[in-house]
């Protein structure tokens, strides 16, 4: 019964043809109200006290929206509940790392006939909201994103539906894992859009941002896993979401897609940009584990020699065949990979699935620390299966 339910869910996942169709403000795309911020991962037990990296991003968003005039004012709004923090996935949105989304935030819209999913519009290298710091340069970057980048890309996409499967395939064939490295896919996307771009600063940003494709692929994977969950039988044990909010890690299964099963999150581990910087990494933060749950990211490191070499000290011998056994199918467009993380297989094999998610400073000040690997504890999947049986 479980196998048949998973097979049907996988067929729906395979049928999705994600296309980048638009750039839209969150209030227009998903009806996000004022004084509401979307965060990654499962709900907080107490949304008035988010962890430091998410609090830093939320403070900057309050300043950006004009809800507060100082960091202290913003902190009071959040602590009082006047500004509400809600899981992004409740709105069909996936957000990277510690980024939060407010009504003015520009989102990428990825859609096909099955529906739509959204993620943050990337805006280049340097200080970024997703890194969970309070660098004031982030506010300038947000303004540029929403007033310059978003209109230019909207114009470039007019009448254009960008096939993300084709770009992802190109990336995998040229050294990307589609999570820690999207260099080839981003370059191919820029080549496609460049004749229609009207601003030199946008040209420069896209040429200098090898991870630009990342949030597009997050939305694409969210769209695929959401399709797998549509009408899924309660017996389906496919994982359709894997994310962290900086406190807890959570997963959702296709058989009960609105329910998060959670556990305390550990921090990702991996190579640091500055090994001398003595700052602890935050517990898992971000929605991008949906990429790995679909079968990419850490599961595609065999295609990506550069990040695979960087992660080698954190990978156990024989990790590739072990990880492959946790996945239930093979996507027709990616026949050299395995697709569809299966909670039941995780329990049978007793192997923790890997996700490639960056490390950010737990202090809410240091920002990006480096690349990371996260091993989702087998007990989380056992609890999710129990929740499925109890529903």
Tokens matching residue 349: 């094999």
Domain parsing of the chain, residue ranges:
18-218, 229-390
Give the per-residue pLDDT at 159: 84
pLDDT in tens, 307-331: 999 999 999 999 999 999 999 999 9
**CB-based contacts of 280, cutoff 8 Å, min separation 6:** 267, 361, 362, 363
Query: pLDDT band at residue 67, thresholds of 50, 70 and 90?
Result: very high
Provide the mean pLDDT of the chain.
Answer: 97
Whether residue 115 is predicted with pLDDT greater than 90 in this model: the reply is yes
pLDDT band at 1 (very low <50, low <70, confident <90, very high): low
The CATH code of domain 18-218 reads 3.90.1710.10
Report pLDDT digits (tens) over 220-242: 999 999 999 999 999 999 999 99
How far is Cα 353 from Cα 273, in angstroms, rounded to an integer?
Answer: 25
Express each pLDDT in 261-309 by its tens digit. Answer: 999 999 999 999 999 999 999 999 999 999 999 999 999 999 999 999 9
Tens of pLDDT along 341-356? 999 999 999 999 999 9
Sign of the Cα torsion 53, 55, 59, 65 reads positive
Judged against a pLDDT cut of 60, whether residue 49 lies above it is answered with yes
The reply to whether CATH 3.90.1700.10 applies to domain 229-390 is yes
Adjacent-strand bridge partners of 110: 20, 117
Task: Note whether 184 and 305 are within 8 A (CB).
Answer: no
Q: What percent of the chain has pLDDT over 90?
A: 97
Question: In this structure, what are the phi and psi dihedrals at residue 294, rounded to the nearest 5 degrees?
Answer: -70, -25
């Amino acid at each position: 019964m479980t196998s048949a339910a998973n097979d049907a869910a996988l067929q729906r996942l395979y049928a999705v043809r994600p296309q980048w169709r638009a750039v839209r403000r969150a209030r227009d795309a998903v009806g996000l109200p004022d004084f509401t911020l979307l965060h990654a991962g499962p709900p907080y037990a107490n949304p008035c006290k988010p962890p430091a990296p998410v609090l830093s991003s939320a403070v900057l968003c309050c300043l950006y929206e004009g809800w507060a005039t100082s960091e202290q004012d913003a902190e009071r709004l959040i602590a009082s509940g006047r500004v509400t923090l809600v899981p992004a996935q409740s709105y069909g949105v996936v957000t990277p790392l510690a980024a939060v989304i407010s009504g003015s935030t520009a989102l990428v819209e990825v859609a096909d006939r099955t529906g739509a999913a959204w993620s943050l519009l990337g805006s280049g290298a340097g200080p970024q909201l997703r890194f969970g710091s309070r660098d004031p340069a982030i506010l300038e970057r947000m303004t540029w994103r929403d007033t310059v980048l978003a209109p230019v890309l909207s114009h470039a996409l007019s009448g254009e539906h960008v096939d993300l499967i084709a770009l992802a395939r190109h990336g995998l064939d040229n050294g990307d894992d589609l999570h820690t490295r999207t260099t080839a896919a981003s370059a191919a996307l820029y080549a496609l859009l460049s004749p229609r771009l009207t601003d030199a600063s946008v040209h420069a940003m896209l040429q200098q941002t090898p991870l630009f494709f990342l949030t597009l692929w997050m939305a694409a994977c969210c769209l695929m896993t959401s399709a797998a969950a549509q009408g899924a039988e309660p017996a389906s044990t496919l994982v359709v979401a894997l994310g962290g909010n900086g406190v807890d890690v959570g997963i959702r299964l296709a058989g009960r897609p609105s329910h998060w099963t959670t556990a305390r999150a550990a921090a990702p581990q991996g190579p640091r940009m500055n090994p001398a910087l003595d700052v602890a990494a935050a517990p898992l933060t971000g929605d991008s584990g949906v990429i790995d749950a679909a079968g990419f990211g850490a599961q595609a490191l065999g295609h990506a020699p550069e990040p695979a070499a960087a992660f080698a000290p954190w990978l156990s011998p024989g990790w590739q065949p072990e990880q492959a056994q946790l996945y239930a199918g093979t996507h027709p467009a990616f026949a050299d990979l395995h697709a569809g993380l299966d909670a039941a297989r995780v329990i049978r094999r007793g192997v923790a699935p890997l996700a490639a998610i960056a490390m950010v400073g737990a202090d809410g000040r240091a920002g990006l620390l480096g690349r990371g690997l996260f091993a989702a504890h087998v007990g989380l999947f056992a609890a999710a299966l129990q929740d499925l049986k109890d529903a």
